[in-house]
Amino acid sequence: MSAGVATPASAFRHDPVLLAEVLSYVPPQPHLLVDATVGGAGHAQALLERFPDAELFACDRDPDAVTAARERLAPHAGRVLVKQLPFSALPHHLLAGSVSFLLADLGVSSHQLETGPRGFSFTEDGPLDMRMDPAAGEPAAALVNHARPEDLVDLLRRFGEERFAPRIVQAIVAARSEAPIETTGQLARLAAHAVPAKFHRRGFHPATRVFQALRIAVNDELGELERLLDVAPPLLAPGGRLAIISFHSLEDRLVKDRFRDWEQPCTCPPSMPICVCGKVPLGRRVMRKPVGPSSAEAARNPRSRSAKLRVFEKAADAGADADAPGGRAAS
């Protein structure tokens, strides 16, 4: 579905992962809930139904998701505000210290993966796009056709952990010298032919890591996650919680490290008898190890298998950052 074309909620399918777990980590009597990756609004709808006295601010970079979420959440009008915006813009729409619970599900939605024209799918042919916001930045085709070979190899290794990156890039460079690579089908076939047949696994397309790497690069997903981790703490109310669902090790490592640093910020050498750096813990990690899907959920929704949920709770005596921009959006 291209930008500017309405997407009915029924067409934007996204099974909310770890739904029961997410609901269980919401603090008691929340006032303001935030779903920063509203997608098909599965989590958002459940949050509104479970906590009837709370308001919800929801956002997404994908205009199709925003359209679908507004439709699906219409029965809760008066309690909901849905915006199209990136994580970095959250402080311009929310008051510092106002959020009881902030959720970010970093997964790609089924709608995005299964809608060929969006360019995320290696099974549904379409233009090689992959942008969460089709009106922002350059599509994946620009990277594939114009990036230096050594940069492409680095990208596939860094964001896709692709062991056959040099072989795949060699195939890409040979193909693009003849004609531009313009569709997801073309790229998927190139990757499949470049990966030795003995490494093809049942249920795992050989282009999976290639598409993951390009999607992360095109949408600056790790940069967006860093920005969320920068802006979230000042937005949380004392005792408020930040819940993040990640789907690969690069994301999870960022979240794990940042949560640990918030809980243990002291930078004094171990030899120091007392802390002199003056850095105070922001709060606590609600769990040391991430929560994954149950076997039943993984069987029902295979895309949930790699999901990892981590939750951080801001200290009850922590105040809002006075320097953080505030102001709840009026519309």
User: Which CATH number covers residue 171?
Assistant: 1.10.150.170
Q: Does residue 139 share a domain with residue 151? A: yes
Q: Does residue 30 share a domain with residue 158? A: no
Q: Is residue 82 part of a domain?
A: yes
pLDDT of res. 14: 62
Q: pLDDT tens for residues 3-60? A: 444 445 555 666 799 999 999 999 999 999 999 999 999 999 999 999 999 999 999 9
Res. 174: pLDDT tops 90: yes
Q: Does residue 183 share a domain with residue 53? A: no
Of 218, 250, 268, which residue sits at a domain end? 218
Q: Does residue 233 share a domain with residue 197? A: no
Tell me the one-letter amino acid at 209: R
Task: Residue 93: name the closest of 40, 50, 165, 35 by CA.
Answer: 35
Question: Residue 280 — pLDDT band, cuts 50, 70, 90?
Answer: confident
Q: What is the mean pLDDT of residues 294-302?
A: 89
Q: Is residue 118 part of a domain?
A: no
pLDDT of res. 53: 96
User: Which CATH number covers residue 275?
Assistant: 3.40.50.150
Which of 7-21, 29-43, 135-149, 157-171 is predicted least confidently? 7-21
Q: Is residue 121 part of a domain?
A: no
Residues 6+ apart with CB under 8 A from 128: 119, 139, 140, 141, 144, 181, 182, 183, 184, 186, 187
Encode 272-311: b = buried (16+ Cβ within 10 Å), e = exposed: eeeeeeeeeebbebbeeebbbbeeebbeeeebbebbbbbb
Regarding beta strands 283-285 and 236-246, do their DSSP bridges make them parallel or antiparallel, or are they unpaired? unpaired
Q: Is residue 77 part of a domain?
A: yes
Q: Is residue 256 part of a domain?
A: yes
When divided into structural domains, the chain yields a total of 2
The token pair at 85 is 């915006």
Question: Residue 328 — pLDDT band, cuts 50, 70, 90?
Answer: very low
Q: Is residue 155 part of a domain?
A: yes
Q: Does residue 100 share a domain with residue 235? A: yes
pLDDT of res. 13: 60
Q: Is residue 142 part of a domain?
A: yes
Of 159, 194, 218, which residue sits at a domain end? 218
Res. 168: pLDDT tops 70: yes
Res. 306: pLDDT tops 70: yes
Q: Indicate the average pLDDT of the chain.
A: 88
Q: Does residue 203 share a domain with residue 236? A: no
Could you say which DSSP state residue 248 is in?
Answer: S
The token pair at 183 is 């569709």
Q: What is the mean pLDDT of residues 176-191?
A: 95
Q: Is 109 helix (H, G, I), strand (E, B) or coil?
A: coil
Q: Does residue 208 share a domain with residue 142? A: yes
Q: Does residue 90 share a domain with residue 41? A: yes
Res. 98: pLDDT tops 60: yes
DSSP code string of 54-92: -EEEEEES-HHHHHHHHHHTGGGTTSEEEEE--GGGGGG
Of 218, 252, 282, which residue sits at a domain end? 218
d(CA 64, CA 74) in angstroms, rounded, equals 16
Could you say which DSSP state residue 118 is in?
Answer: G
d(CA 156, CA 158) in angstroms, rounded, equals 6
pLDDT of res. 322: 37
| 273, 279, 285, 288: CA torsion to nearest 10 | -40
Q: Is 141 helix (H, G, I), strand (E, B) or coil?
A: helix
pLDDT of res. 1: 35
Q: Does residue 146 share a domain with residue 211? A: yes
Say what the pTM is: 0.87
Q: Does residue 248 share a domain with residue 296? A: yes
Q: Does residue 68 share a domain with residue 26? A: yes
Q: Does residue 99 share a domain with residue 229? A: yes
pLDDT of res. 3: 40
Could you say which DSSP state residue 100 is in?
Answer: E
Q: Is residue 188 part of a domain?
A: yes
| 329, 16, 184, 134: CA torsion to nearest 10 | -10
> Kindly report the CA angle at 223 between 322 and 288, in degrees rounded to 5?
75
Could you say which DSSP state residue 191 is in?
Answer: H
Tell me the one-letter amino acid at 318: A
Structural domain boundaries, residue 238: 19-110+221-314
Which of 66-80, 99-113, 250-264 is predicted least confidently? 99-113
d(CA 132, CA 165) in angstroms, rounded, equals 24
